[in-house]
Amino acid sequence: LLNLADQRLYRTVRWSRALPDFAQLDTDDQILLLQNCWADLLCLDCCWRSLPTPTEIRLTSSKCINLEAARELGAEEIVERMLQLTQYLTQLQLDVVEYACLKVIVLMQPDLKNLKASAHVRTFQETVRRLLADYISTSSSGVRDKFSRLLSRIPELQVTSQTARLMLVDLDLSAYLSSNSLLMELLRSDIQRYSPGVGSSEEPIITSSSGNTVPSSNTKDITTDALSDSSVRKTSDASNEPKAEELNNFPNPAMETDEATRNLAQNPTPQSDESQLLNNVAEVVDTEAQNDDT
């Protein structure tokens, strides 16, 4: 499960880089945004996959976990929260466009301390919020107050992911994850965040809009590598990882089936029509799902 989560993190990075407005950001800003919400995005991804299976969380197309299995792993509270969120999203008849917009809204948080392009991030988030509201108002789902009810689930999502992060930082995962895996580096940063008196002296501190703090130096190097890597990690063995100079030569399998979206990711155009932006955001998510067999 941990290695699966690590693979998901690289897919999350790849998805974010396919968003033109995210790809235009300074690398430090990209890292900061991803550090803030990586667990939120992983939880939301699982809930989206689980819409057809209301009694279990679908981790992949072939792997699921129910409350009984979660209880054995000590993750009952987390899975129970995710099931409740999934059931709520099912009631709201969440579709792929709305899911894509929620992901962008969760990712693009403009109030993070040390965020250089906060105005740009705010503008993009507000644009996606407006697009989501317009899309819902013209859709035929007939769900009352759907826009506000969807946004009201974001705090619940954040509480769920926070619970998962707190559980993981209390565990010794060195036997299961490579020391230089992206998940391990992010968890080291969480240990700094949640453990009083650890790393509180020299390291620069990032404060999120929720008031949490995290040293910015811990995950910067490996997250920078991840932002350069368009491939999916097939293994946690460091000896099999691509070298830095090889990264740009790797294909992006989730983008290969959609020429228009791939071109948009490589040649972002901030002047894109808003309706086209909405389509592109949804296409990236939908293409990821179609190509995800892990």
- Convert the pLDDT of each residue in 92-105 to its tens digit: 999 999 999 999 99
The two tokens of residue 258 are 């959609």
DSSP state of 258: -
pLDDT at 16 over 70: yes
Identify whether the C-beta of residue 227 lies closer than 8 Å to the C-beta of residue 13: yes
Q: Give one word for 211, left, alpha or beta, with left for phi > 0 and alpha for psi -120 to 50.
A: left
The identity of residue 225, as a single letter, is D
- Which residues does 194 contact at the CB level (< 8 Å), separation at least 6? 165, 166, 169
Distances from the Cα of 129 to the Cα of 98, 192, 200, 291, angstroms: 10, 33, 36, 27
pLDDT reading at 59 higher than 70: yes
Contact 101, 128 (CB under 8 A): yes
Which pTM value belongs to this model?
Answer: 0.70
CA angle, corner 192, sides to 187 and 198, nearest 5? 140
CATH 1.20.1560.10, domain 2-290, yes or no: no
Mean pLDDT of 66-80: 90
Q: How confident is the model at residue 44 (pLDDT cuts 50, 70, 90)?
A: very high
More confident residue, 60 or 145: 145
pLDDT reported for residue 223: 53
Mean pLDDT, residues 159-171 taken together: 78
Average pLDDT score over residue span 40-68: 90
The dihedral region occupied by 205, where left means phi > 0, alpha psi between -120 and 50, and beta the remainder, is: beta
Residues 6+ apart with CB under 8 A from 39: 161, 162, 164, 165
pLDDT on residue 209: 35
User: Residues 103-142: pLDDT tens digits?
Assistant: 999 999 999 989 999 999 999 999 999 999 999 999 867 8
Task: Kindly indicate the confidence band of residue 74, based on its pLDDT and cuts at 50, 70 and 90.
Answer: confident
Mean of pLDDT values over 196-207: 38
Report, as an integer, the average pLDDT of 263-283: 51
